[in-house]
Structure 1
């Protein structure tokens, strides 16, 4: 993708809409929609790197109630011809066609490489990558198992959604999240993952979410790891103008 002069690519992650409840989440949702309204003016593309919702599961004919402002704004932007790309997070693993069919937004379940103006990016949510985090990795295999998803669909949505929302907030093993404190490069699993990837193949930028911390770490002289932070405490987002990548606060 070539970025036209005066255009930018925008990145955001970890909104967790619906947490800890809909009433407390609503001001954050309105702020995010306001951000979408602002960036659409000069966006060449928008990347959403997962956990937009604190819980999302697509039954055959049902999706979770709510988030009308966000979904409507995404539809508006997509219909205007601005491409939006979505990477599932650990709280919205169970996407299965709704965004593609209703919003024309492609959904990715694994990190993917993109090239913008001759700059290469490896982009993803970030959960379960790198060494460690074995408890969550085992749990993720259960969550993504087709038979387990089939069993969950047999729960009535009123029961299934309520149960999943409770576990999403209360069970840190299921959420796969640690306290949002920088652990040092040697203990940050995503940093170690990016260093290993960089040793195999060069990327100019590694852009992830999941850690809920805005981070910019040089992996070497020509490669950088960036974590987008979140829309709970930091309200940070990334901007690539064709040459440089910067984190901003909204």
Structure 2
């Protein structure tokens, strides 16, 4: 019987900034293979890719082993869910139609008798005002249409350029965990959930708040950390195969 659930976030596949784990995408494939047959759920809580944009007849060939591993995990009976992040928010129908992986902006699941709420976490902190404004520009339909007119190779190159510069700016940003915890505590009350699972800030931890528990897996870029849920309890683990 599949009795474990696993949550990861922030792999940012497609780039290798200083300090990132070499070959971490292959490690993620091995992780998925290692939980096949014993996982009831795998939830990827945003920013699986450094950038993702779907064209009608184009899928990035650099991730074929990952796609195959996700499909095999679904075929084993595991529910695989993929949340939008601030880097990979433009999912279309490739994952649900071709791989059986469900995509979401936010997600609420019943797991092991617990109600669990998932959200990547971008824009929830009050100090992320500038990002919320920038996201509106990215989500504007005309801008989406114009980007789609670019050749995919040019679009990927442009996205990587913007991503590198935004990462440099983000490195000096101070993470105010109290803002994330306050928001998550409000969401626990609103949704009636016991757990709120976030990503985005790359800080791993489990925090008890007034209305439940907030947790983050950290990242799969520099640490290869993940959350495991068994018998309704959460642990933070590090993948080392």
The alignment's TM-score, normalised by the length of structure 2, stands at: 0.90
Hey, what does 1:246 align to over in structure 2?
235
Gapped runs of 5+ residues in structure 1?
none
Query: Secondary structure at 1:133's aligned position in 2?
Result: helix
Q: Give the CA deviation at 1:180.
A: 8.0
Q: Give the CA deviation at 1:181.
A: 6.5
1:75 aligns with 2:50: no
On the 8 A contact 1:116/1:242 being kept in 2, the answer is no
On the 8 A contact 2:37/2:76 being kept in 1, the answer is no
Higher strand share: 2
On the 8 A contact 1:47/1:85 being kept in 2, the answer is yes
Query: Secondary structure at 2:85's aligned position in 1?
Result: coil
Hey, what does 2:225 align to over in structure 1?
236
Q: Give the CA deviation at 1:25.
A: 7.1
Could you say if the C-alpha distance between residues 96 and 25 of structure 1 is closer, same or farther in structure 2, counting changes exceeding 3 Å?
A: farther
Size of the aligned set, in residue pairs, is: 237
Give the one of 206, 215, 228 matched to 1:216. 206
Give the one of 6, 11, 15 matched to 2:11. 15
- CA deviations 1:32-56 (Å, max 9, x no partner) are 1111111113101111111111111
On the 8 A contact 1:48/1:85 being kept in 2, the answer is yes
Gapped runs of 5+ residues in structure 2?
none
The alignment's TM-score, normalised by the length of structure 1, stands at: 0.87
Q: Distance in 2 between matches of 1:127 and 1:178?
A: 15
Alignment of 1:50-129 (within 5 A): 50-109=46-105, 111-129=106-124
Q: Runs (4+) of structure 1 moved beyond 4 Å? A: 177-182
Could you say if the C-alpha distance between residues 71 and 180 of structure 1 is closer, same or farther in structure 2, counting changes exceeding 3 Å?
A: farther
On the 8 A contact 2:111/2:232 being kept in 1, the answer is no
Query: Secondary structure at 2:202's aligned position in 1?
Result: coil
Hey, what does 2:132 align to over in structure 1?
137
Q: Give the CA deviation at 1:140.
A: 0.9
Give the one of 184, 192, 197 matched to 1:202. 192
Q: Give the CA deviation at 1:194.
A: 0.9
Q: Distance in 1 between matches of 2:214 and 2:55?
A: 36
Q: Give the CA deviation at 1:112.
A: 2.2
